[in-house]
Structure 1
């Protein structure tokens, strides 16, 4: 595994950082990604053998291709792409005027179009990975709100629902060389969720597991998708069973 490379977008903190650490333990050389400069993020590489850091602002969707090219220039190959980077807009679903065109564009750009651009740029390298004996692997990070009428806002939920359907369509299109799956978390206890008391109350009282997810819970599922060479086209809901209520 020491020669296999995984790019994890949005991996400076939270879910992405947990995924990067987990894949490093699995033996991958991890390419981390964030918006801040490499000099600011150098400490992220501590304890991650063979890891690298690459800066790109995925709100500028045209930069997605250069991110993949930078990773390939550094590592020479790409075997796994984890589309974790995303944006959230939080306001009541009933506040229709809050869902401005600018909000819609940002949600679609970051949560759908940027992953699409990364995948299209990575396709050739992932197909080359398949020729070494294992299929290339893409794991998208969606949300339970892409499956149920829930979520921090309607534009956010819709952008992730589109990512879910893209996952299925690409699994059909890119197989057998490349597998495409999606982990769809509910509330995860990260800095992004800070101050969302209503969501914490819901998960702590209504979900069968009586808590939100930890970043490592989601990282475990991503690693499982990377490890299994057969499963493709799946949307795995990880919300502590809240979807059952």
Structure 2
């Protein structure tokens, strides 16, 4: 996903991005070409904005700056899949959207999260984005719906997890209420990213990158602990 931005080392390279184009190339080539006209030059009235790309092994989804969802095969030919009503907004310092988040359960089941009328809302589509079902308000009856969400992910089995400045939240597959995950020695400032690689295992990154640590879960996102120290330059 290529962007036209005016950010730099002091402001963050993802700052002030105003246009996005989805490009493709083969593994052995650096010859990037647009996948099609539908996903070329995506913008939101010239304002600083963001977009998010998520892939399965065969299909991809792109949430555009105006909330439109696009999808297509990895080799190209993407088209509009539906409208989400979620605006990604300006990018966070790590490049992820600040206002809307996308998570794939599989090639046809997609979740999107954003603020709707001042409240955090997660909606799901089982038909590739053409129709959406919002989660009921009761899913947040056990905990307060979080603000300042930084990342959203889904497992192949349908569990959802999200990160905020206050921690990690999880909605196990088949559950009816979100809950705050247990995080051993949670870092100040919370987390900037979460990703689940299997139904049980996932990783999260601290918002404070100077900690050089990753947090991991082995029970589907319900408990997390720092597992690996990353040595810069290695």
Judging by fraction of residues, say which structure has more strand. Answer: 2
TM-score (norm 2): 0.30
Judging by fraction of residues, say which structure has more helix. Answer: 1
TM-score (norm 1): 0.29
